[in-house]
Chains A and B, each alone.
Chain A
Amino acid sequence: MNPPTLLAAVSGIDTGDTAWMLIATALVLMMTPALGLFYAGLVRSKNTLNTFMMCVGAIAVAMVTWALVGYSLAFDGNGSLIGGLGYAGLHGVDFTPREGTTIPQLVFMAFQATFCIITVALVSGAVVERMRFGAFLVFAALWSVCVYAVLAHWAFGGGWLQANGTLDFAGGVPVEMGSGFSALAAALVVGARKDYGRQALLPHNAVYVLLGAGLLWFGWFGFNGGSGFSTGNPSVLAFTNTLLTPACTLVVWFALDLFRGRKVTAIGAATAIVVGCVAITPAGGFISPGWAMLLGALAALPSYAIIVWRTRTRVDETLDVLAAHGTAGFFGILFIGFFAQLSWNGVSDGLFYGNAAQLGDQALAALAGPTYAFLATFVLLKLIGAVTPLRASEHDEALGMDVVQHGEEAYVTGEGAILVFPEDGGTAGVPVADPG
């Protein structure tokens, strides 16, 4: 391809749409560090950096795998199960718009990349405080291709679910159910933290959790508002629903907290924001603002119940990705089947408006997405575990993953720290006193 052709003005591009999608892409990328903050606050202080670094690691690894093969497998062609390799290495991804959009395919690819990144980061919530960082990076690379790209193809890229008529506005199948049910599998394969069920393992900084949730919500306006790939009505509807739904989830969550413990909790509120944002993700551009508010209120119930139930089991799905993302995503996908409204979305009605078939299409996605995500993740982690240990030793786990995996601490004081100059760099690890 020679430069003059590439740089010539491309027809079919809308500058307003492109401007919004550039911003939306940046907003969604910000969600991954925001998730890092949210997750870091939920773990013990000795694992702060490791937890945050899993999200940073997801940006590094998933962006590269997405550019190499992930984007192509998700968005090249209309294969039923998987896309082609025509866009591998971003070959042919340039300023011309993708069919059905009015933005350069480069922006489309970048926007979708940020979805892949945050989904990989979400799964880390199941294995924090014990999984080896190296093993996680390997898992992140393979998972982004074998699980995320496949589910994205099914739901967005012309795969069988989309062809069948399943409505998924911004990723209820690949992002929310994909991460939630993969997290369950990951927690089962990696196993519980050694102190789980024996000691109270408490969040070390609730302010991080609230700030992280707030930044996630902010970024979610790009996530849902950008998933119409334009500044048109679906995007506007999804954008506003992203404001309405989580607010209703918050109100109901407050009520549930009051009912159970007589106090409204801050970490509960942060969780409710995420649950509300997740619930409206698949439904954003398909349901009216009124139904979106009902969705937010109802979505609180199953997620709340699963969080209460899960902590009483031996399953250490540490940061409740299944409850917040898997469950609320499942709920949102099904909700579309009931309350989608042609007069608002221009695409399809749901059962409530006389189209029962839509509910069937939604139920199919709600079965297929979780099943594939769970099984593929289970097998993938078993395979990686056969080659390299998935978790740190008990001794390292007790010491904390920050010092062991990264050689840093989040809250270092500097007391008793001795500078090591490069010229005597060989003295590392020398005992200063004979313990014998």
Chain B
Amino acid sequence: MKLVIGIVRPEKANDVLEALYRAQVRGVSMSRVQGHGGELERVETYRGTTVQMGLAEKVRFEIAVSDEFVQPTVDALCEGARTGQVGDGKIFVLPLDSAVRIRTGETDHGAVTPVDK
């Protein structure tokens, strides 16, 4: 069981969701974050005040998956988020100790496996 964290461009978030859906990965959280990963800084001017914007808007996906879904999830994130320009983002895969589905109390593998209706 792994926790996959993907940090991507906000304008690619919909493409990522589409790619995850095609890879049959369900159960996703996403949040808006500010980040910096080596891209050029934008310079903005507000009535005489010029600033370098060190942080860029990013979207952070958190996806808990069973082991056989780790690679498809990572592939989908790459496919959906890549533009080829600096600033496309990063993917981190972390070990996950346990997971509980609150509604049923199922744990671990059962908790991260999608329910088939």
A contact set with B: CB distance below 8 Å: 195, 199, 395, 398-400, 403, 407-409, 412-420, 422, 425, 427-435
CB-defined A-B contacts under 8 Å, sample of 15: A199-B14, A395-B83, A403-B42, A408-B45, A412-B46, A416-B36, A416-B54, A419-B49, A420-B43, A429-B40, A429-B41, A431-B38, A432-B36, A432-B38, A435-B37
Could you tell me the distance between the alpha carbons of A432 and B87 in the complex, rounded to whole angstroms? 13
| B42-100 with Cβ < 8 A to chain A | 42-46, 49-55, 83, 85-86
Indicate whether B11 reaches chain A with its CB closer than 8 angstroms: yes
User: Chain A interface mostly helix, strand, loop or mixed?
Assistant: loop
Could you tell me the distance between the alpha carbons of A434 and B39 in the complex, rounded to whole angstroms? 8
- B52 A399 Cβ-Cβ under 8 A: no
Q: Which of B41, B46, B49, B51 has the most CB of A within 10 A?
A: B41
**B residues in contact with A429, CB < 8 Å:** 40-41, 43
How many A-B residue pairs have C-beta atoms within 8 angstroms? Tell me: 71
- B45 A435 Cβ-Cβ under 8 A: no
Instruction: Evaluate whether A432 and B41 lie within 8 angstroms (CB atoms) in the complex, with A416-B54, A417-B51 already known.
Output: yes
A-B pairs, 10 with minimum CB distance: A416-B55, A416-B54, A435-B38, A417-B51, A398-B11, A435-B86, A433-B38, A420-B50, A428-B43, A418-B52
List the A residue with the shortest CB-CB distance to B44.
A407
Indicate whether B34 reaches chain A with its CB closer than 8 angstroms: yes
List the A residue with the shortest CB-CB distance to B13.
A199
List the B residue with the shortest CB-CB distance to A425.
B50
- A408 B11 Cβ-Cβ under 8 A: no
- B39 A418 Cβ-Cβ under 8 A: no
Q: Determine how close the nearest CB of chain B comes to the CB of A109; give it in whole angstroms.
A: 32
Partner of A416, one of B34, B43, B49: B34
Partner of A409, one of B11, B39, B44, B50: B44
Instruction: Evaluate whether A415 and B34 lie within 8 angstroms (CB atoms) in the complex, with A408-B45, A420-B51 already known.
Output: yes
**A residues in contact with B55, CB < 8 Å:** 415-416
Partner of A418, one of B37, B54, B85, B86: B54
**A residues in contact with B54, CB < 8 Å:** 416-418, 432
- A408 B85 Cβ-Cβ under 8 A: no
Q: Determine how close the nearest CB of chain A comes to the CB of B7; give it in whole angstroms.
A: 15
Could you tell me the distance between the alpha carbons of A395 and B41 in the complex, rounded to whole angstroms? 16
| B1-44 with Cβ < 8 A to chain A | 9, 11-12, 14, 34, 36-44
Q: A398-B9, A415-B55, A430-B41 are in contact. List 17 more A-B contacts (CB 8 A).
A: A403-B42, A412-B46, A416-B36, A416-B54, A417-B44, A417-B52, A417-B53, A417-B54, A418-B41, A418-B51, A418-B54, A422-B50, A429-B40, A429-B43, A431-B41, A432-B36, A432-B38
**A residues in contact with B50, CB < 8 Å:** 419-420, 422, 425, 428
List the B residue with the shortest CB-CB distance to A399.
B11
Could you tell me the distance between the alpha carbons of A179 and B40 in the complex, rounded to whole angstroms? 40
Could you tell me the distance between the alpha carbons of A414 and B52 in the complex, rounded to whole angstroms? 10
**B residues in contact with A407, CB < 8 Å:** 42-45
List the B residue with the shortest CB-CB distance to A433.
B38
